[in-house]
Structure 1
Amino acid sequence: MLLLQPPRFLPLPRCRLAGRRRRRAPAPALAFHSQWKLPDVDTDAVQERVRSWLSKARGAVVDAAHAARDRGKHKEEAEGRTKQRKEEVEEQAVFMVPEITVERRVGRGWLSLDAVVAIEQFARLNGLTGRKLQRIFKALAHEHVHSDARSLVEYCCFRYLSRDNSSFHPSLREVAFQRLIFVTMLAWKDPYDEDNDPHSSLENYSVLGRLVGEDAFVRIAPAVAGVADVSTAHHLFRALVGTEKGLTLDLWTTYLGELLKVHHGRQTHKIGDNFLSDEQVLCIGSSRKRPVLKWEQNTAWPGHLTLTNKALYFEAIGLAGMKKPLRLDLTDHNTRVQKAKVGPFGSRLFDSAVSVSSGSMSNEWTLEFVDFGGEMRRDVWLAFINEIISVYKFIREFGPSDDDPAIHHVYGAHRGKKRAVSSAANSIARLQSLQFIRRLHEDPAKLVQFSYLSGAPFGDVVLQTLAVKFWSGKLNANSKVANQRSPQRHKHSEGSSSGQSHVLDIDGSVYLGKWMTSPSWASSHSVSFWRGSSVKHGVILNKSLVVADKSLVEKAMVACQEKSKVVEKTHATIVAATIEGTSTSLCNNG
């Protein structure tokens, strides 16, 4: 801010302080008895000083006025954006429903308006009418299923989604499709009309103010490729909703909008000479306000940190500019990452760093993520790095080796490794999106699939189902593997060997027994799970989408959730008992 001072052609008079003796100040230049005369004063200089002072004063006033106007303008712009966003949400919440052909009367009641809209819209996407799709479902489904409204909603939605095999569904770029998925979650939550009113009107149908619950989100969102994982969907919902009662349309579209930005940024980022041609950039840590520091012998070097699907790259910023980037491989079986504390002279004052090592102590990085708002930035990057390390650990434990000729005997098995890495990349993208919209109400470690499952109860069985999902396929009829042994359900045997029975996925895909080298396959809870993993009455569209039943991954996650609740309850009981015991001890000692 500009400080105004009076013109300095006259010295300011000095005040004399009572009770203190001090040297007499010199007389003012124009004091009485001075030999100076008024004509001796340079009037031009005085006028110039006055003009300069007035100019500065005028400039300060103008600057203050501009600042006030800018503040008001920014406030108006913010209010305008808020109003515009509100209008957009209200506009998006209103649906223009085409001609309704759905038969609202089903076996157990009347379809709700949400169900009618979802069924009719997905029928059009499938190139059919709602009534035609209803009849197809009735012919396919078991008699206990085809009269269920919720199963009908699932069939219409899953049938369209099963047509795409990409890792991120292309229709998510369309706002209309985002709204349709939201309506489908509402329809799954309440598929029946509570009033059983067949004459309820779809005119001005709107979802404004409606809330999606956790069960509906966990069932529908993972079916859309890239939006959620079955294993982390519960935690994703809680991270989004926080203390709110449910998921709103505004929050849903905001999350998907940020997710699209993350994927678009990855596609547009150009791989330079510093990175290998087969690596994909996942995220970049570089900010003037929040730098990344690499600590070496009590010295912190700022720089740019880049995470790819295989490695970490750090480009230190020196006095002469950017230095040659360093690379740390994350695919090695000895790679580790953990929290770390850093500080000058080895003081370890700041709990805001991670330590990443690959192979040997000489190849260890200590990276500090400066975050004046707390430790969340460090925790997010810890989850990023740990997810890449965990997915390659998963590939080594459950996947075939790259030089295994049996890969070519199972259709699509050669793409299993790529599918697993893409799944990990999607987990990181979702965590980035939550970070951008400031919706991290959950531990970041619970939002990335492979690192979460590596420490979760029953997580090893969930990882087995993921392996079957990624690497299983139809057997080549001319292969030796197909002639050696017909595929069977996994049966318990002492240890894992190449002679062990193959595993069938729910769609008939085969996961070879020779790939079952992990000791976890021989565990009792694994054997028990695979014995009861068949689908009884559901309609199977593919290995991930089953109407009125669950896929293998979903079934394993149900057991994982139940065991996790038991562990959490036991831990809470132990903590409470410890606190109570400590309090009693203190009271007795007192």
Structure 2
Amino acid sequence: MAAVSKTRSIIEGFVRDGSFKWLLKSRSPFHEEFEEMKLSPSADRNWVFELSPVANIVVRRCSKILDIPTRELQDIFNREASDATKDPSLYARNFLEYSCFRALAVSTQVNGYMEDKKFRRLTFDMMLAWEVPDTASQPTMDIEEDASVGIEAFSRIAPAVPVIADVIISDYIFEFLTTSTGGRLQYSTFDKYLIGLDRALRKLKSQSESSLLSSQRSERGEKILEMDGTVTTQPVLQHVGISTWPGRLTLTDHAMYFEALRVVSYDKPTVYELADDLKQFVKPELTGPWGTRLFDKAFLYKSVSISEAVVMELPELKGHARRDYWLAIIREILYAHRFIRKFQIMGVARDETLLKAIYGIVRMQALKDMSSPIPLCFEAGLMFNACDQLPGGDRILETLATSRNSSITSGMFSISATTMASSYGLVFGTTSNESGIVVGDVSVGMLTPLEKAVKESRSSYKMVANAQATVDGVKVEGIDTNLAVMKELLYPVTELGNRLVKLFYWEEPVMSLSFCLVFTYVIYGGLISYVFASLLGFLALFILMTRWSSRGRPVDEFKVIAPPPMNTMEQLLAVQNAISQAEELIQDGNVVLLKLRGLLLSIFPQASDRFAVALVIIAVFVAFVPMRFVILAVFLEEFTKYSPIRTPSTERWSRRLREWWFSIPAAPVVLEIVKEDKKKK
């Protein structure tokens, strides 16, 4: 009785000091629950003193769903949780998570749970309570009726329902939903998102139960995920060679189908496999009339099972969002099956993997229907696409493959995505016989290995993004300007090169002689590796000294004198000149290769004989003389040939070598033009 009196006095105290003013503005579920808690004779079982008022109300709702009194639920948690989970500083939040996860596991087994407004409100209130779990974080009930939640609460609670979010991409979903609300998620936005998810799930169920493509997909039980081209104003065009056909494009969780449109019906579907290992790849493609590449609104599919690549064009008035969406969801299914094959995932785990990819596509369909000031980045919101882009994404997939969502440890509860899918009538293979409740990839009071891998990858991604931002900031326009920047950046290297050239041509005989003697000693003494190591050590010491001396000071900007501005015609002439110079270099390279071909194949016997004799002499010298002396001989030969003593003989031998080289004809070349034989359908 003392506990009952204490609980009632606490609740009445909240009323007297106005802490429930936000609840009294309108008749809300919170208000009704508070009144019930106040008048209930079992108030001691409905109030946990370690929890905040909002957390108490949320836990009470969870206990009703579980049909377990709050006090008994707390006793179960105290028995099952580890000592670290029951640490006083974390107790309130961990017990709240325990209650929420168990309640969500039960709630999501109800058919069509997403359409229940109470479920949607409960999920959001769990996030509210997660931010203020104990009395220290919320001593009074001063939360406004339009309260919002942050990214940590969303990323912790939302992945407990796999269709709402996934640990890997939950951050992106939150950022997209909160673009216009300053990084805080409001209930109205969250509710609209969940309603969109419910609509997308029902569409998935109705499409998968239809007779479309039944003969092709019946054996594998494929689910139809997306369909396009059924509306005449938004056709899908298939390009194979020079032939083009409009039709209907369908994506399932195993393949892509295209049905060419005839007068009143569709042709038999053409299957483009995504599940089997056919070395497939999908990439953006340009299309246009008569083979021109003008419009960036198509994607290309190629595999070893087809002789010619297939291009699917999805035209729209502006932009290429329609193509980007299809490209992303096709890759998601393709990457999911690659993941399954790579880690040899079988049985229920395979169904779970496919369903993760399907849920990602469902989320994209729901987010597409929501208004936002920024465009939707499909790759960032799809799990396997994101892992393909994120730094360390391969480690995330390895962690995902080794983890078992249905495993139970102390304080951990989970519910499988396949169990939740069955609530919408979507059957994926067999169900797991393992005991336990599923909650995606989260666990009470701790970070799972998958969450740790994702956080590490996100941290690396931020560093990469910041680095890329600096790269984008230093890019300049114009060939002349870029050449000026490059010239300034390479100034130390060019200066070093100029000094070496002066030494090589003995413009300063004393310096050249000193350099020659020093390097002769280094090569003869076998000290080259030590010299190279010393140079690397000097560079490392220079970097450390520079860092220490510039500590706390802003980085000096690299200043470049901009060249005079060039108009469009001057820039075109500069490009043409650069292309001409590149063409000359390529021609000279081809001449060298053709002459070498003639020497090797003895097309010109006299020159080939001399070349062969020279090769034999070099081979004998290299074979019988130690490598150290070979290197020394090559160094002395090259470095001293422009010395005052050897200059006359060097000029004479260089002239003879050029004359011999110019006397060698190039091997003949015949250009054949191949006529492509393309049959028009």
Band the TM-score falls in, shorter-chain normalisation? 0.5 to 0.7
Contact 1:186 1:216 in 2 (8 A): yes
Residue matched to 1:276: 217
1:336 aligns with 2:311: no
Partners of 2:393 and 2:111 in 1: CA distance: 27
1:360-399 alignment to 2 at 5 Å?
Answer: 360=305, 362-399=307-344
The partner residue of 1:212 within 149, 159, 162 is: 149
User: Structure 1 residues 132 and 548 mapped into 2: Cα distance closer, same or farther (>3 Å)?
Assistant: same
Of 232, 237, 240, which residue of structure 2 is paired with 1:293? 237
| Equivalent residue, structure 2, for 1:572 | 469
- In the TM superposition, 1:60-459 aligns within 5 A as 96-97=32-33, 99-100=36-37, 101=43, 102-106=46-50, 111-143=51-83, 145-146=85-86, 147=88, 148-162=91-105, 171-193=113-135, 197=139, 200=141, 208-245=145-182, 246-269=184-207, 270-272=210-212, 273-277=214-218, 278-286=221-229, 287-333=231-277, 334-360=279-305, 362-400=307-345, 414-439=347-372, 441-459=375-393
CA distance in 1, matches of 2:272, 2:162: 30
* Structure 1 gaps, min length 5: 1-89, 401-412, 475-503, 510-538
Q: For residues 569 and 540 of structure 1, do their structure 2 counterparts lie closer, same or farther at Cα, with a shift above 3 Å needed? A: farther
Do the aligned partners of residues 303 and 121 (structure 1) sit closer, same or farther apart at CA in structure 2, a change above 3 Å counting?
same
CA contact (8 A) 1:283 1:306 kept: yes
Give the Å deviation of 1:220.
Answer: 0.7
Residues 445 and 586 of structure 1: CA distance in aligned 2, closer, same or farther (over 3 Å): farther
Report which stretch shifted further, 124-133 or 94-103: 94-103
TM-score (normalised: structure 1):
0.65
Identify if the C-alpha distance between structure 1 residues 288 and 118 changes in structure 2 by more than 3 Å, giving closer, same or farther.
farther
Contact 2:114 2:120 in 1 (8 A): yes
Distance 1:231 1:119, change over 3 A: same
Work out whether 1:556 is the aligned partner of 2:453.
yes
Find the residue that maps to 2:282 and give its secondary structure.
Answer: strand
3-state DSSP of counterpart to 1:306: strand
**Cα deviation digits, residues 173-207 of structure 1 (max 9, x gap):** 32101100000111112224578646x59xxxx86
Instruction: Give matches, 1:538-553, under 5 Å.
Output: 544-553=441-450
Deviation at 1:172, TM superposition (A): 2.4
Partner residue in 2 for 1:463: 397
Q: Which amino acid aligns with 1:415?
A: V
**How far apart, in 2, do the equivalents of 1:571 and 1:382 lie?**
24
Shift of 1:438: 3.9
Cα 1:144–1:327 change in 2 (3 A) is closer
Per-residue deviation at 1:579? 4.2
1:587 to 559, 562, 574: 562
Deviation at 1:547, TM superposition (A): 1.0
Structure 2 CA distance for partners of 1:173 and 1:241, relative to 1, 3 Å: same
Question: Number of aligned pairs?
Answer: 421
- 1:357-383, CA deviations, whole angstroms, 9 ceiling, x for partnerless residues? 222552532111122242111111111
The percentage of counterpart residues that share the same residue type is: 29
- 1:530-570 Cα deviation digits (max 9, x unpaired): xxxxxxxxx99878341110122111111111111122122
Quick one: distance in 1 between partners of 2:138 and 2:217? 61
- Cα distance in 2 between the residues matched to 1:361 and 1:157: 51
Larger proportion of strand = 1
Q: Distance in 1 between matches of 2:189 and 2:390?
A: 29
Secondary structure of the structure 1 residue equivalent to 2:217: coil
Change (3 A) 1:97 1:210: same
Deviation, 1:164, is: 7.9
Q: What letter is aligned with 2:474?
A: A
Contact 1:295/1:301 (<8 A) preserved? yes
Letter in 1 for 2:292: S
Q: Which has the larger radius of gyration?
A: 2
* Cα distance in 2, alignment partners of residues 164 and 176 from structure 1: 10
Q: Deviations over 1:106-152 (max 9, x none)?
A: 2xxxx433312211111111112233323332343345543332222
SS in 2 for 1:587: coil
Partner SS for 1:243: coil
Structure (1 or 2) with the greater helix fraction: 2
The CA deviation string for residues 463-508 of structure 1, in whole angstroms up to 9 with x for no partner, is: 112112359879xxxxxxxxxxxxxxxxxxxxxxxxxxxxx99979
TM-superposed CA distance for 1:348, in Å, is 1.4
Is residue 332–residue 358 contact of structure 1 (8 Å, CA) maintained in 2?
no
Which amino acid is the alignment partner of residue 182 of structure 1? F
Q: Judge conservation of contact 1:506–1:540 (CA < 8 Å) in 2.
A: no
- Deviation, 1:225, is 2.6
* 1:47 paired residue number: none
Change (3 A) 1:195 1:284: closer
- How far apart in 2 are the matches of 1:375 and 1:105? 56
**Distance in 2 of aligned mates of 1:472 and 1:113:** 33
AA at the equivalent of 2:185: L
The Cα offsets for residues 379-428 of structure 1, whole Å up to 9 and x where unpaired, read as 1111110001000110111125xxxxxxxxxxxx5211111111111111
Relative distance call for 1:554 and 1:505 in structure 2 (3 A) is farther
Kindly indicate whether the alpha-carbon contact (under 8 Å) linking 1:298 and 1:343 is maintained by their aligned counterparts in 2. no
**For the residues of structure 1 that align with 2:385 and 2:164, how far apart are their CA atoms?**
18
1:221–1:227 contact (8 Å) kept in structure 2: yes
Distance 1:425 1:220, change over 3 A: same
AA paired with 1:222? P
Q: Distance in 2 between matches of 1:241 and 1:188?
A: 18
Residue 585 of structure 1 and its aligned partner are, at CA, apart by 5.1
Matched residue type, 1:399: Q
User: Residue 95 of structure 1: CA displacement?
Assistant: 6.0
Q: Whole-Å Cα distance in 1 between the matches of residues 138 and 354 of structure 2?
A: 48
- Please give the root-mean-square deviation of Cα atoms over the aligned residues, in Å: 3.4
